[in-house]
Structure formats: C-alpha cells, structure tokens
A = this chain, B = another copy of it.
Amino acid sequence: MTANRILAREGVVDSFGHVSIRHPDRPDRYLLSRARAPECIEAGDVMEFMDDGAPVDAAGRTPYAERFIHGAVYAARPDVQAVVHHHSPSVVVFSVSAAQLSPVMHMCAGIGTRIPTWDSRARFGDTNLLVTNLAMATDLAAALGQRPVILMRGHGCVVAGMSLREVVFNSIYLQLNADLQIKASALGDVTFLTDGEVAAVLRTRSAFTFERAWEYWCRRAGRPYDGRPMEGPLAGTT
C-alpha cells in the first residue's frame, strides 16, 4: 500500500501502473493488488499470484490484465524481489524517441546505463501494446535481461530490484533523470556519468540511502513510516 501511495504522490503512476513483491515464503508466487488505481489501493486489495499469472484465490477481485509482466520477471530473475510497471510521462518520452536515456546524476545511477527500449511491435505486430499474456511478458523479461530498467515503446517501463524500497527509489529517480535529460538536451550536448562512476555508485550504495528517502516519501504520501532499523554500510549516503 505504501509503495503504491508513494508512487502516486510522486507522479510516477496515475490511474495505471502497479508494484509487486515476490512472496516471502513461496518464491514462485508474488503479491500484487487487484486492478485499481495505486492511490486507492487498500490492504484487502492485495492478491497472490502464481508466476504464470494465475490468481491463487481471486475471491471475486479483478486482477490487472498486465500482471504477467511481474511473473515473467520473477521467473527469469531469481535475484529480483520487487517489480514496478509504470507510465511516468517523462519516461514514456524516451520510449518514443531515438534519444537514449542514461544517468546524468549520481542519485540516478541505479537505473543502469544506456537503457534500451522494448518494442512490442517487433515480435507481436500491431497490438493494443498491453502485455496481457505470458508470451509477451517472457519476451519483455528477456529484453530486460540482468538490467534494473527497460523501457516499453509508447507505453512505459519495468523497474526490477532487490527490495520494494529499491524499485520505488529507482522509479522516482528514473523519472527525475528523464526530466533532467530532456532539459539538458535542450541546452546542447549532455555529459553523462561514466560507466566507472555508475559502477562506483552501485558498489557503495547502502540501504540507508533508500531508508532516508523512504521516510521522506512516507511523509509526503501521508503514510506512517515504520522506522525499520538501518541496514548495511553507510558509505553511499549523501
């Protein structure tokens, strides 16, 4: 619920977009809301799915038609614990442009470099662009590969990570990086982070960075902050 409310508050999702976590005890399952706008989601909306998209117990609730994205990523990436699919406007802009999104700022290094765009049309032709079956979702997950982010042409993106805090963090800073790059491109050539810099940020980033942001976003979204004890080294804090 909190992740959904934060993404809504920060403008990453509107009526659409969704966030899931892998089931803590059953790695072949994941938890995801029923089909509802993120801002409106309540505890009773959270459903459990098999990784092929079948609901464990729908109890009359309508699932997201695009839930297959989540299952395909969890199946392909054992390291991934959380997934966001969203349509952040600034990110969509890069999905319909030849300009390549890449980090321009240290806080955005977690999005990966030279982010590719998956085009549903390449393999599936003229569709409604929705990833509503396992074939499309598997193709998308393959294009994602070991990356944290992939764009979807004329649609949005997928963000995959090790925790809910990480995918929310990377979703928000992905949106910021897109904003920055649009503005900087209008001024002329853009200096991107080097691959060595991106690697250095990822190597030194700690859970504490995600915690600090999480506390802030909880406050903005009007959600209680659960004050989880800080984990990991502090070297990557700013």
- Report the copy number of this chain in the oligomer: 4
Q: Does A105 contact B128, Cβ atoms closer than 8 Å?
A: no
Taking the complex as formed, is A46 at the interface, i.e. its CB lies under 8 A from any CB of chain B? no
Q: A186-B185, A212-B15 are in contact. Are A129 and B106 (CB under 8 A)?
A: yes
A230 — which chain B residues lie within 8 A by C-beta?
62
Taking the complex as formed, is A35 at the interface, i.e. its CB lies under 8 A from any CB of chain B? yes
Bound form: Cα–Cα A108–B197 in Å: 32
With beta carbons under 8 angstroms apart, the residue of B96, B103, B155, B186 that contacts A190 is B96
A14 — which chain B residues lie within 8 A by C-beta?
213, 216
Bound form: Cα–Cα A26–B138 in Å: 51
Q: How far is the CB of A1 from chain B (nearest CB, A)?
A: 14
A213 — which chain B residues lie within 8 A by C-beta?
14-16, 37
A17 closest partner in B (C-beta):
B238
Q: A126-B196, A234-B65 are in contact. Are A90 and B40 (CB under 8 A)?
A: no
A109 — which chain B residues lie within 8 A by C-beta?
128
Q: How far is the CB of A206 from chain B (nearest CB, A)?
A: 9
Taking the complex as formed, is A114 at the interface, i.e. its CB lies under 8 A from any CB of chain B? no
Q: How far is the CB of A103 from chain B (nearest CB, A)?
A: 8
Q: How many residues of A contact B (CB 8 A)?
A: 77
Bound form: Cα–Cα A220–B132 in Å: 28
Taking the complex as formed, is A184 at the interface, i.e. its CB lies under 8 A from any CB of chain B? yes
Q: Does A203 contact B96, Cβ atoms closer than 8 Å?
A: no
With beta carbons under 8 angstroms apart, the residue of B92, B132, B155, B200 that contacts A126 is B200
User: What would 11 more interface pairs be, CB under 8 Å, given A90-B183, A96-B180, A103-B154?
Assistant: A15-B215, A35-B234, A37-B212, A39-B219, A40-B219, A62-B230, A125-B196, A126-B197, A129-B197, A154-B192, A185-B186
Task: Give 16 A-B contacts (CB < 8 Å), ordered by A residue.
Answer: A16-B107, A40-B219, A64-B237, A64-B238, A65-B238, A96-B104, A96-B105, A96-B192, A106-B154, A126-B194, A128-B201, A128-B203, A129-B193, A129-B197, A153-B191, A154-B191
